[in-house]
């Protein structure tokens, strides 16, 4: 999907890292719209970090104080001025470094912007996502809910964390969810990979057998 996003006209290449943030960092669209360069740690090698500190969801111009369609605010479910550090893998670091090198930033430091430095709109990135989906999925797949909405990139990323064995509490922290919400939304993912869970338990039991004096041995 990310590769296909880059094939979509003039806007597509500017949105590859945008959708990459949703997938690799589990970010909400409004958090990506709000993201500024000074909140990013992007080393030449290895993992980086995003220190998220705000959210600019689209709410409609009649509902904002400044007449724009986005309403800058604190992170969802977090006190004002709270931050949420999210480690990001080398794949996303690379995408973001390339994006900054090629497109720079808006005057206020935002990484993602329209051609006139405006806020990226759902109507724009939604069209690009739909066009990319049409290119990479078969007719049968397009008839399913698979990657139907851009927000599904976030769901896919968080599901990957859980399926990889990352503790639920850490997944919730990175995603900006409470543990209760994470368990409710991603219950199928958490309970659906029995083979992987069994393998993890088997490996732990084998280590206990070879080292019975370990603190958690019995």
- Find the radius of gyration of the CA atoms of the chain: 20
* In contact, 55 and 176? CB cutoff 8 Å: no
Q: What is the pLDDT of residue 105?
A: 96
Indicate whether 179 pLDDT > 50. Answer: yes
Q: What is the mean pLDDT of the chain?
A: 84
Please name which of 134, 178, 191, 162 lies closest in space to residue 8, comparing C-alpha atoms: 134
Beta bridge partners of 87: 49
Give 135-167 pLDDT, tens digit per residue. Answer: 999 999 999 999 999 999 999 999 999 888 889
Beta bridge partners of 36: 110
- Residue entry with tokens 């709109």: 121
The residue-averaged pLDDT of 108-136 equals 94
3-state secondary structure at position 73: strand
| Helix-helix angle 16-24:122-136, to 10 degrees | 80
Higher pLDDT residue, 18 or 209? Answer: 18
Domain boundaries, the chain: 2-142, 151-218
Give the whole-angstrom CA distance, residue 86 versus residue 10: 30
Indicate whether 182 pLDDT > 80. Answer: yes
What global pTM score does this model have? 0.80
Indicate whether 106 pLDDT > 70. Answer: yes
Range from 51-60, 123-132, 135-144 carrying the lowest mean pLDDT: 51-60
Q: What is the pLDDT of residue 86?
A: 95
Backbone region of residue 26 per phi and psi (left: phi > 0; alpha: psi in -120 to 50; beta: other values): left
Range from 20-24, 64-68, 101-105, 153-157 carrying the lowest mean pLDDT: 64-68
Range from 31-35, 38-42, 206-210 carrying the lowest mean pLDDT: 206-210
* In contact, 60 and 69? CB cutoff 8 Å: yes
The hierarchical CATH code for the domain 2-142 is 1.10.443.10
Q: What is the pLDDT of residue 73?
A: 45
CA dist list (Å): 55 to 12, 35, 146: 22, 8, 26
φ, ψ of residue 151 to 5 degrees: the values are: -60, -25
First to last CA, the chain: 47
């Amino acid at each position: 999907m990310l590769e296909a996003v880059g094939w979509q006209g003039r806007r597509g290449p500017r949105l590859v890292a945008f959708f990459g943030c949703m997938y690799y960092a589990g970010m909400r669209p409004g958090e990506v719209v709000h993201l500024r360069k000074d909140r990013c740690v992007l080393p030449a090698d290895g993992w980086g970090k995003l220190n998220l500190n705000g959210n600019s969801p689209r709410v409609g111009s009649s509902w904002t104080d400044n007449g724009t369609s986005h309403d800058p605010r604190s992170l969802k479910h977090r006190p004002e001025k709270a931050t949420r550090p999210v480690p990001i893998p080398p794949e996303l670091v690379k995408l973001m470094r390339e994006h900054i090198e090629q497109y720079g930033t808006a005057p206020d430091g935002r990484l993602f912007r329209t051609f006139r430095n405006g806020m990226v709109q759902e109507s724009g990135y939604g069209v690009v996502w739909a066009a990319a989906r049409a290119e990479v999925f078969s007719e049968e797949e397009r008839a399913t809910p698979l990657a139907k909405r851009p927000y599904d990139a976030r769901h896919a990323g968080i599901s990957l964390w859980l399926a990889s064995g990352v503790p639920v509490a850490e997944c919730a922290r990175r995603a900006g969810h409470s543990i209760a919400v994470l368990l409710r939304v991603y219950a199928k993912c958490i309970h659906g990979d029995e083979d992987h869970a069994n393998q993890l338990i088997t490996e732990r039991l084998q280590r206990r057998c070879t080292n019975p004096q370990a603190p958690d041995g019995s």
